[in-house]
Amino acid sequence: MRRDPFLPTQATVALVLMLAASSGTAQDRRKVVEPTIPPVCVTLQAKLTLHDGKLVADDESKLDTDRLQRALRECAPGKAVELATAESTNAFLTGPLQIPAGVTLLVDGGVTLEASRDPRLYDVQPGSCGLVNDAPPGCKPLLSVSNAPHAAVMGDGVIDGRGQEPLLHQQITWWDLAEKARSGGRQQVPRLIVADQSNDFTLYRITLRNSPNFHVVFSHAHGFTVWNLKIDTPQHARNTDGVDPGSAEDITVAHSFIRTGDDNIAIKGSEGGVGFMTVEDNHFYYGHGMSIGSETYGGVHDILVKHLALDGPDNAIRIKSNPSRGGIVERVTCTDVCIRNSRWPIVMQTNYNNPGPFTNRVPQYRDIHLQNVRIAGGGTVSIEGFDEQHRVSASLDGVLLDVPQQYKLIATHAAITYGPGPVNFILKGDDVFASGKPLKGTLAPCGTMFVPFESVNN
């Protein structure tokens, strides 16, 4: 893969992360370096072939699930099950798989691991997957990592959830079910990768496509490394979040490229909260941006977002919650960020998405720092606290709009600190207090931070 000139060397990244950790900066507390691919315990060769990117109808029943699961189960911890091409074959077809502790699923370049379109394979209970209802979640994920520390998914190949293709013997797709659920009910569709209670989980160099729902969920654990991940899913695919950590600590997402139909990253601060997370040297494209929330009732704290390019997202830097699921979000720093062509380049919202009955979970955002943020293409900047007792406390230090007159500025219930870096706009509104002074000045241009997605995709 062509090297992105925006990315520093591996040694530089390791040094930066180590120095920042030693200085007490809010971020992943681990010393994170580029992962390495472990030795292979067994190599499995593909038996199927994609034609114009798809399986032929006769191959839809030729599942590789049993041989894949057997190989994963028999592989020793610290080693990898390798999926490889053969002379004319390049695809595997599978239902849900479980990755054991210490084992890596290694998908070689040129290989696609295709998710089966048969909803019966994903049923938690008979008939529970592939519909819309009000029942609890009814689908297993494609790849499950449960109570399996030190597991990983790696390689230069592709894992395709096939959310856009009709379910077997039906005319409806997984994504159609998501659209149907807009009118009420739960879309019963599988997620692509779910890691739960599995410390030290790693995603490295893999491409994920077309998940029926969230692409990656990591929860109830410590230590999650995402390095050079690519997520490539259409903008219209509803509820296809990229990477969602929840109830977790010590997380790094680095050198990754994400475009999808919902949040590029969504930090879910539900029970247990999320803390000590680094998002560094990444590129986001369409999607709903670098998001925190909407669940924040467990707390979100000590988050560092650094060297991030957001090119064309609906939202860019976003904190969202409401009084039915809010909590404290604090010590969040976004520094050296480039944003262009976003409808909402900065949004901090405490009444997100029809909050429903008021509860005592009122959102409170404090100690939020935006530093060296360059925005182009117009849009709305919105910082809205809940009330006088729950103001947003934020600093703007080097935050510039390309043409300030082209932006809508909204603020209420906020305490804003300006400077010392230049800020070329002022937020005014009900119960808005300011300290410091916006100053004229310039910031370094974004330059090579914007890289076409197609130039980095497998």
pLDDT tens readout for residues 67-124? 999 999 999 999 999 999 999 999 999 999 999 999 999 999 999 999 999 999 999 9
Distance CA 153, CA 239 (A): 22
CATH superfamily assigned to domain 35-262: Single-stranded right-handed beta-helix, Pectin lyase-like (2.160.20.10)
Beta strand 315-320 with 432-436 is: unpaired
- What's residue 406's pLDDT? 96
- What's residue 455's pLDDT? 86
Of 257-271, 305-319, 347-361, the least confident: 347-361
pTM reported for the whole predicted model? 0.93
| Share of residues in the chain with pLDDT > 70 (%) | 93
> Residue 216: is its pLDDT beyond 70?
yes
Of 49-53, 61-65, 248-252, 444-448, the least confident: 444-448
314 is catalytic: no
- What's residue 355's pLDDT? 62
DSSP-assigned letter for residue 423: B
* Matching fold, domains 35-262 and 290-444: yes
> Residue 10: is its pLDDT beyond 90?
no
263 is catalytic: no
- What's residue 360's pLDDT? 82
Catalytic residue among 160, 241, 250, 262: 262
- What's residue 26's pLDDT? 76
The residue among 142, 192, 166 whose CA lies nearest residue 55 is 166
Q: What's the whole-number average pLDDT of the chain?
A: 93
The residue among 231, 187, 186 whose CA lies nearest residue 206 is 231
> Residue 365: is its pLDDT beyond 50?
yes
Q: C-alpha distances in angstroms, 49 versus 4, 62, 81, 192?
A: 31, 11, 20, 21
> Residue 356: is its pLDDT beyond 80?
no
> Residue 399: is its pLDDT beyond 70?
yes
Catalytic residue among 288, 301, 307, 413: 288
* pLDDT category of residue 440 using cuts at 50, 70 and 90: confident
Distance CA 377, CA 344 (A): 10
Stretch 407-417: mean pLDDT: 98
> Residue 208: is its pLDDT beyond 50?
yes
Distance CA 95, CA 117 (A): 8
The residue extents of the domains of the chain are 35-262, 290-444
Q: Which residue has the tokens 């919650």?
A: 321
- What's residue 438's pLDDT? 86
- What's residue 423's pLDDT? 97
354: left (phi over 0), alpha (psi -120 to 50) or beta: left
> Residue 14: is its pLDDT beyond 90?
no
Stretch 402-406: mean pLDDT: 95
Which amino acid, residue 348? M
- What's residue 7's pLDDT? 32
Which helix (H) or strand (E) covers residue 73, if one does? helix 65-74
For 290-444, CATH gives 2.160.20.10
> Residue 179: is its pLDDT beyond 80?
yes
Distance CA 46, CA 94 (A): 12
pLDDT in tens, 147-175: 999 999 999 999 999 999 999 999 999 99
pLDDT in tens, 255-281: 999 999 999 999 999 999 999 999 999
